Amino acid sequence: MNKLKMLAAAAIAAAMLPVFPTYNAEATDAEDSSLRCDVNGDLTIGAADMVMLSRYLLGAQGITAAEAERADCNGDGTVDAFDLVGLREQYVYNCSHIPQGTWIAEDMNGTRYFWFDENREGTFTRCDNGTLTPFRLTSTGGKLTFALSSGAPTGAAISWTDDTHFSLKWDGAGLENFRYVSDVRFDKGPYLSGTYVIDGREKEISFGTNYSASLSGKSFNVLPQRDAVWFLYDDGTSEAASFSRTDKNHFVLKWQDGRTANFTRREITVKDGITCVNGILVANKTYSLPSTYDPKGLTPEFSKAFTEMKNAAADDGIGLTICSGYRSYSYQKQLYENYVAVDGKAAADTYSARAGHSEHQTGLAADINAAEEWFIGTPEAKWLDKNCWKYGFIIRYPEEKQDITGYIYEPWHVRYLGKENAKLVHDSGLTLEEYLGIDSKYAY
């Protein structure tokens, strides 16, 4: 079989594979696995519990402390005939109430949603892997049967805690707890988790894995739905915006009234004084390296990629050499202080970095051929600008971006990002600062 046919066969096999509403009983916290009115502790409320409680109340049998706690249906601290009434009411409620709307399964990191419509049809949705399994529901007593379009039916006993919470006891598995989210249908939609900045760098929004979100200290729910995102606020209002992804770190939302917002993923981690944004090591005017950060030269990744680029350029008749590569903290300190002595601080800051703020200290940046104005517009500069991304580099300080990068145009200064990130940044047409939603400004 050729490769294409094999891929097609694999795709068909994957599509036909029955997708069950997999639920791992082991994932259930034993502490949470108790239901009020479930006297015998089998995680369902039924006739057996009523018989057990009746026999206890008639003095025919004793019960354990744990059983007594669960048997106290009305929570008044004593087990008596009122609890038997409560147990019957609970049982009737469980039998007569079928969920509707969108419900989040609170276990499994909140990545699983259930949709129940009024015709007893619905879907299980896994947001993290994008699977969507339709089902048809039948209900007999407190027992639900999910007939999956993809395979055999699976059963679960339902127990309601209140109008917005219920638990399912899956056949052969533990309890799964559900919380009401919305009457808006949740469907296979964009996966949103992570921290983003909106329209530049001002506002930061965090999307949790359980589709909670927080913005400016306010929490609310977000519900991705096909190519839209619903925002569900605490006051009961909601709004929907259409979703379109620009690349893996960027998306745009457009609301019905025409407002749009650009979202840039920005996960900042600082370890030993070294800042990474979305996994990319950053040294600029905002983010500095500690004086102890010392790769002792250009990194092997940089050197390997540079050799590849140099050879490709040579094939085009272009000669590339490194005129300034790695610079230590102390060397940069000396260099900067010399420039300040000659040109003054304000001027020096436009073309030379303060110690700790130079990208040359990362071992991932270098100046090619000549770090001087005459290099601008040469065939070598043009070749670099056009081709460096193919080898994992970007021109770090592009023309007319001084207010963003903090530096004047430097067509000779390349930064190694790796091929995937270099292509993403190149294709975006943005500077690295814009691409990552960060600033480059001295704080002092």
Active-site annotation, residues: 410
Task: Give the tokens for residue 290.
Answer: 């500690």
Q: Minimum distance between the CB of residue 337 and Zn ion, rounded to whole angstroms?
A: 17
- The DSSP secondary structure of 306-318, one letter per residue, reads HHHHHHHHHHTT-
Which listed range, 89-97, 162-170, 222-230, 412-420, lies at the site for Zn ion (CB under 5 A)? Answer: 412-420
Nearer to Zn ion, 36 or 413 (CB): 413
Residue nearest to Zn ion (CB): 413
Q: Minimum distance between the CB of residue 421 and Zn ion, rounded to whole angstroms?
A: 19
Which amino acid, 35?
L
Q: Return the SS3 of 272.
A: coil
Task: Give the tokens for residue 109.
Answer: 């990191």
Which listed range, 91-99, 145-153, 363-371, 418-426, lies at the site for Zn ion (CB under 5 A)? Answer: 363-371
Strands laid side by side in the 322-324 sheet: 322-324, 365-368, 410-416, 393-397
Q: Minimum distance between the CB of residue 30 and Zn ion, rounded to whole angstroms?
A: 59
Nearer to Zn ion, 115 or 397 (CB): 397
Nearer to Zn ion, 70 or 396 (CB): 396
CA separation for the pair 264, 98 (Å, rounded): 41
Exposure of 187 by Cβ count < 10 A (0-12 exposed, 13-18 middle, 19+ buried)?
Answer: middle
Pinpoint the alpha helices (H) of 228-328.
Answer: 300-315
Is there binding between residue 327 and Zn ion (CB under 5 A)?
no
CA separation for the pair 225, 219 (Å, rounded): 19
Q: Minimum distance between the CB of residue 276 and Zn ion, rounded to whole angstroms?
A: 20
Chain positions 331 to 350 lying near Zn ion, rule: CB under 5 A, are none
Nearer to Zn ion, 170 or 407 (CB): 407
Task: Give the tokens for residue 324.
Answer: 């300034």
Is there binding between residue 367 and Zn ion (CB under 5 A)?
yes
Nearer to Zn ion, 71 or 282 (CB): 282
CA separation for the pair 414, 417 (Å, rounded): 10
DSSP 111: -
Which amino acid, 248?
K
Is there binding between residue 352 and Zn ion (CB under 5 A)?
no
Which listed range, 118-126, 198-206, 309-317, 362-370, lies at the site for Zn ion (CB under 5 A)? Answer: 362-370
Q: Minimum distance between the CB of residue 371 and Zn ion, rounded to whole angstroms?
A: 6
Q: Please count the residues of this chain forming the interface with Zn ion, following the rule CB under 5 A.
A: 2
Comparing C-alpha atoms, which of 441, 368, 348, 442 is closest to residue 410?
Answer: 368
Which amino acid, 433?
E
Q: Please list the residues that pair with 241 across neighbouring strands.
A: 229, 255
Is there binding between residue 413 and Zn ion (CB under 5 A)?
yes
Which listed range, 204-212, 253-261, 303-311, 411-419, lies at the site for Zn ion (CB under 5 A)? Answer: 411-419
Nearer to Zn ion, 262 or 299 (CB): 299
- Can you give the binding site for Zn ion, defined by CB under 5 A? 367, 413
